[in-house]
Structure formats: structure tokens, C-alpha cells
Amino acid sequence: MTDLSAFSITRKWPARHPDRIQLYSLPTPNGVKVSIALEELGLPYEPHLVSFETNDQTSPEFLSLNPNNKIPAILDPNGPGGQPLALFESGAILVYLADKAGRLMPTDGAARYETLQWLMWQMGGLGPMFGQLGFFHKFAGKDFEDKRPRDRYVAESKRLLAVLEQRLAGRAWVMGDAYTIADIAIFPWVRNLIGFYGAGDLVEFGQFTEVRRVLDAFVARPAVQRGLTVPGPR
């Protein structure tokens, strides 16, 4: 049996199945990217809930794996060269898992880099902008009398949705016929924007018919439906 005792994170979250990928996460848009990918790829994994309510993400055990104190993070007991690999940042984890399984990422050079391009677009633009809009619309930001910060993020979110709308015209998925980690990165954030954040009317989501079409196809996938609930309550 694989021994993960050298990783102090396993003291707070013991591994019942140390031969499986250990996932430390929460069902947020970034968190479910990894659980959805794991479900799509069929890789054996064991999920652990990192509760923000009890500040698990700032515990010494979690920081030993991810010094940036953000979810998700993974510990793969069978990493490169057969050695355990600890990894954080959802985009990096998606690339790693796709490469490990040989799926959800084109092997052709040009298509591979184009997929990474859209992954980076989500990481650097779509996610941060939608997150800021969610703060100013749903959470503490809604109490600010000055609506210029909110309106800034509304405008940028609409611009990004327009970019995605144009990209999806005539395509089944971001990369065409192939479903990839680019879709897994992007659409949990789109779902969150109009669902949890309740900002659909604010960004006039009804005009983005191609985005809606692909979002519906995304959430209809059985692996996506399973991944959206991982990890469940303790």
C-alpha cells in the first residue's frame, strides 16, 4: 500500500485509499473543475472537503500542500516517475490530469496550444472577472453606494461572454467537436455567474445564445453532474 505519511496534509485529512489521487477541494467553480475532470477521465480519487467556514484552507496541514491557501489541490501517489506529486492551481491540475490520462487535451501541437490558450483565458480573465462581479452584486459589494466598481465588472463580464459567444458559433465545444479541459475550465464559471451569483439579467445573458447552448450541453453530461457535487458534506 502507498505510504503518504510524509505529507502532513494527510494528518488532517487521512487517506482511506492512499493509492488513489487525493483531492482537497470545495464545490466552487474552481473546485469542481478538478472533480469534473476526474469524473470524465475515470481516474480513481478520494475527495476531502476543505471547509472555508472553519478556515481549513489556512491550516498548517493545507498550507503544507498549497502555500497559496486556495482550493483545489491534489496529491497523486503515482506521479511522474512513480513518485508522489503534490499540485495546486486548478489550471495546472487540469493539464496534469489530461496528460496523465491521455484524454481531454489534443496531442497535436497546434491544437494543444490552442486549448491551453483558452484555458489561460479562463484563468486570467473569465474567472477573476466573474468572481469580482459576484462580490459586488451578491455579497458585501452590493452595499456600496458607488456602483462604478460593479458596473466595471459587468461591462468586462459582458465583453468576455461576447468573446466566448463568437468562439462557439458553429462549434459544439470551445475546440470544435472535441470536448476538452477548456470547456471544463470555462463552463462552471458561466453556470455560477447566472446561477449562484444571480447575475444573468445584469449581464443580459439571454443574448448569448451560443453560450447558453453549450452550457446546457455541459451540465447535461453525467460526469459533470457528478463532479458538481464533489466533495460532499463531511
CA–CA distance, 37 with 25 (Å, rounded to integer): 13
| Domain boundaries of the chain, sorted by first residue | 9-103, 109-223
Q: How confident is the model at residue 142 (pLDDT cuts 50, 70, 90)?
A: confident
Rounded to an integer, the average pLDDT of 139-154 is: 85
Rounded to an integer, the average pLDDT of 139-166 is: 91
Q: How confident is the model at residue 162 (pLDDT cuts 50, 70, 90)?
A: very high
Is 143 a residue whose pLDDT tops 90? no
Residues 103, 163, 199, CA angle at the centre, nearest 5°?
95
pLDDT of residue 149: 85
Q: Each residue of 168-184: pLDDT tens digit?
A: 999 999 999 999 999 99
pLDDT of residue 1: 58
pLDDT of residue 233: 76
pLDDT of residue 2: 81
Per the CB < 8 A criterion, the answer to whether 227 and 186 are in contact is no
Please enumerate in sequence order all residues whose Cβ is within 8 A of that of 53, keeping only pairs 6 or more positions apart, or say none.
Answer: none
Q: Each residue of 96-129: pLDDT tens digit?
A: 999 999 999 998 899 999 999 999 999 999 999 9
C-alpha cell at position 99: 496528460
Q: Is 233 exposed, middle or buried (0-12, 13-18, 19+ CB in 10 A)?
A: exposed
Name which of 8-12, 106-110, 143-147 the model is least confident about: 143-147
Name which of 34-48, 144-158, 177-191 the model is least confident about: 144-158
Q: Each residue of 204-220: pLDDT tens digit?
A: 999 999 999 999 999 99
CATH architecture of 9-103: 3-Layer(aba) Sandwich (3.40)
Q: How confident is the model at residue 144 (pLDDT cuts 50, 70, 90)?
A: confident
Q: Each residue of 16-41: pLDDT tens digit?
A: 999 999 999 999 999 999 999 999 99
pLDDT of residue 145: 80
CA–CA distance, 14 with 28 (Å, rounded to integer): 22
Mean pLDDT, the chain, whole residue set: 96
Region for residue 104 given its phi and psi (left: phi exceeds 0; alpha: psi -120 to 50; beta: otherwise): left
Rounded to an integer, the average pLDDT of 129-139 is: 93
Q: 2 versus 194: which is more confidently predicted?
A: 194
CA–CA distance, 223 with 46 (Å, rounded to integer): 16
Per the CB < 8 A criterion, the answer to whether 192 and 134 are in contact is yes
CATH architecture of 109-223: Up-down Bundle (1.20)
DSSP percent split of the chain into helix, strand, coil, nearest 5 = 55, 10, 35
Per the CB < 8 A criterion, the answer to whether 21 and 45 are in contact is yes
CA–CA distance, 42 with 37 (Å, rounded to integer): 8
Rounded to an integer, the average pLDDT of 44-72 is: 96
Q: How confident is the model at residue 234 (pLDDT cuts 50, 70, 90)?
A: low
